[in-house]
Structure 1
Amino acid sequence: MQCLRNIQRCNFISFTRGLPFCQFSSKSIDVNQLRVELTKEFQSVGIERRESLLSAEYIIAHVLGKKMFHEVSRKTMIPKAQWLQIKELAKKRSERMPLQYVLGEWDFHDFTVKLSPPVLIPRPETEELVEYVLQDVGPDRSCQKFLEVGCGSGAVTLCLLSKLPWITAVACDISREACDLTTENLTKYQVDGRAVVLNMDFKDSETIQRICELGPFDFILSNPPYIPSADIDHLDPEVKTYEDRRALDGGQDGLDFVRHLLAVSPPLLKTNGKLWLETGLEQHGLIKKMIDSKPEQNMTFLQSLEDITNRERFCLIQKRSR
């Protein structure tokens, strides 16, 4: 017992940074004490307390083969092999790697998608966007095909294909890593046969021509880059250091990609087809002005939709019939 208490008193900052630490004995480590020490370590590198606690719990549960910490018995004693796995994951988290990358996976709706840097991590807001789209489509089987611009991990396309089994998709991203991850996640859930994944630059005219050949689409959806360039360096280290800047940086006012998307969407959409956008806060007025100022694009700003915090986060835009 004395040896175990000595292990529990080890300096976690030392162990996660690869400095000398207490010799591991044949005895195991108490899961509750480990959670406490990991939480302290994560806090010491600037991660806020609640996030530190969640990171500790997720890492421990993951290594022990559980989804959530509450599924782990409080009497669990962690053996050496799993202690070493936890140590390695904790080191990555202490370097401010996002928890989703540390675990290599994350839940999105009913699915567990594989994740790896630098592919954009799907956020809870994007889950809400998918809910809005699903509610809008409902049981309408005349809605046959959609386009996702900036597919990232493929979480959105995966969810829509799985919940709308009659529909097909085109998923496009400039990132090779993103397209590989999308293909892997779609294959895992056996919906890859209903999707075309394009590793192409959406701002390139050849890309638009290729997508036109695969369309027209009943709807397009995108979580485009919408953060103003000047704000990128002020983001949390997890975001600015690890996630693909191309998926974040929206130019001077955050709307460069949105402008392009509005310009090229009309020929890609069916008449009355819809464009769904996830946006930054306080951008909807500017987006509506863009649309109203170019009636030749034949688009109408239908409405703003709120996220769970009651803030305008999503735009619904429609192609008008002439």
Structure 2
Amino acid sequence: MRCLTRIQGLHAFYRATRNPISCYSSSAYPSDAIKVCSNLIRKFQNVGIEDTESRFSAEYIIAHVLGKKMFHQVPGGQIINEAQLTRINELAMKRMERMPLQYVIQEWDFHEFTVKLSPPVLIPRPETEELVQYMIQHVGQNKSCRTFLEVGCGSGAVTLCLLSKLPWMTAVACDISCVACDLTLENLTKHQVQGRAVVLNMDFKSAETMQYLSRLGPFDIIVSNPPYIPTADIDDLDPEVRRYEDRGALDGGTDGLDFIRHLLAVSPMLLKKNGRLWLETGLEQHKTIQSIINSDSNCALEFVKSIEDFTRRERFCLIERY
């Protein structure tokens, strides 16, 4: 496994300009899990976090500090010691600054795998879990399908899950972010699948990257959750997203399709004949994607179908190279 062409520096993160104020004074700090949770919920609501998310965040933070996955695993009357209270307070302050919960506790579950997370690497969403499940079902036991390329690997959750569920496959995972590639390497190593992966810290749009990937390919599958949010919509996203997550992993240009256009243009050079391109997209983008493919007689791609997510909205594209 290799990590190539590191980039310098880290993305700038949001920092609160005010001095942080402790959630609780030490003398008045509640001592059992239920009371601590109730107080955290109120604090989160007071900074504008909506009610359901406030409860969700409070419960996860307490469970995490107490070594549990879920709050219901914590006995309601459990006394929380001083060290635990201090740690809960530290994490709560981060959440009050609107840091995403996944960054606060530095991990999240993707399918049955717990992956490490850190800002500004894109947080895996439930929709992406769905995409992976569709891919696994589609491949089935077809062991002639042996190689895949993930474009924009982020935390490595997709590559990790596919390699674990399809143990005969090998992967190339590519991302422009050095932080993302390091995180991918860490997560693949944690789950002992790093020996079947090459991780490339390269710009997918560069000619050098295309030449390198061409030597590693062709691939049976390309999968990508690319930037697809229109630029004008970025500033309207929740504070957790626009302040902390990598804008480069979100911003898809004027219509949200800049990166997808490039991916469609180069996929025929990287896919085997009858190879598949799986995309997660924004809503109401599929007709335009179909139009891009159909308008280029040299594209060598066919739009196979749109697939709905759990909200019954078109979210995934299956495209085939002919």
* TM-score (structure 2 length as normaliser): 0.93
Q: CA deviation at 1:30?
A: 1.4
**RMSD of equivalent CA atoms:** 1.3
Distance 2:251 2:126 in 1: 20
Structure 2 contact 176–201 (Cα < 8 Å) conserved: yes
Distance 1:131 1:118 in 2: 25
Tell me the SS of whatever aligns to 1:301.
Answer: strand
Tell me the SS of whatever aligns to 1:134.
Answer: helix
Q: CA deviation at 1:166?
A: 0.4
Structure 2 contact 22–93 (Cα < 8 Å) conserved: no
Aligned match for 1:211, one of 210, 213, 218? 213
State the structure with more CA Rg.
Answer: 1
Q: CA deviation at 1:231?
A: 0.5
Aligned match for 1:118, one of 117, 120, 128? 120
Distance 2:170 2:25 in 1: 56
Q: Deviations over 1:251-285 (max 9, x none)?
A: 00000000000000001000000000000000000
Distance 2:135 2:173 in 1: 16
Shift in CA distance, 115/21, structure 1 to aligned 2, threshold 3 Å: closer
Aligned match for 2:34, one of 18, 32, 42? 32
Residue 307 of structure 2 is matched in structure 1 by 305
Distance 2:207 2:232 in 1: 28
Residue segments in structure 1 that go unaligned for 5+ positions in a row: 1-15
Tell me the SS of whatever aligns to 1:77.
Answer: coil
Q: Which residue identity lines up with residue 134 of structure 1 in the other structure?
A: I
Tell me the SS of whatever aligns to 2:88.
Answer: helix
Map of 1:165-176 to 2, 5 A cutoff? 165-176=167-178
- 1:108 aligned to 2:71? no
Q: Deviations over 1:179-200 (max 9, x none)?
A: 0000000000000000000000
- 1:287 aligned to 2:289? yes
Q: CA deviation at 1:295?
A: 2.0
Q: CA deviation at 1:20?
A: 9.2
Tell me the SS of whatever aligns to 2:235.
Answer: helix
Residue 192 of structure 1 is matched in structure 2 by 194
Distance 2:216 2:24 in 1: 58
Q: Deviations over 1:174-226 (max 9, x none)?
A: 00000000000000000000000000000101001101110110010000000
Structure 1 contact 226–257 (Cα < 8 Å) conserved: yes
Distance 1:116 1:68 in 2: 21
Shift in CA distance, 21/220, structure 1 to aligned 2, threshold 3 Å: closer
Residue 89 of structure 1 is matched in structure 2 by 91
How many residue pairs match? The answer is 304
Residue 9 of structure 2 is matched in structure 1 by none
Shift in CA distance, 72/20, structure 1 to aligned 2, threshold 3 Å: closer
Distance 1:193 1:21 in 2: 47
Q: Which residue identity lines up with residue 257 of structure 1 in the other structure?
A: F
Q: Which residue identity lines up with residue 189 of structure 1 in the other structure?
A: H
Q: CA deviation at 1:23?
A: 3.4
Residue 59 of structure 1 is matched in structure 2 by 61
Sequence identity (%): 67
Aligned match for 1:223, one of 222, 225, 234? 225
Structure 1 contact 28–79 (Cα < 8 Å) conserved: no
Q: Deviations over 1:123-144 (max 9, x none)?
A: 0000000001001000000000
Distance 1:303 1:260 in 2: 20
Structure 1 contact 28–77 (Cα < 8 Å) conserved: no
Q: CA deviation at 1:18?
A: 2.2
Q: More helix by proportion, 1 or 2?
A: 1
Higher relative contact order (CA 8 A, sep 6+): 2
Q: Which residue identity lines up with residue 198 of structure 1 in the other structure?
A: L
Residue 8 of structure 1 is matched in structure 2 by none
Q: Which residue identity lines up with residue 52 of structure 2 in the other structure?
A: R
Residue 11 of structure 2 is matched in structure 1 by none
Distance 2:20 2:161 in 1: 38
Tell me the SS of whatever aligns to 1:286.
Answer: helix
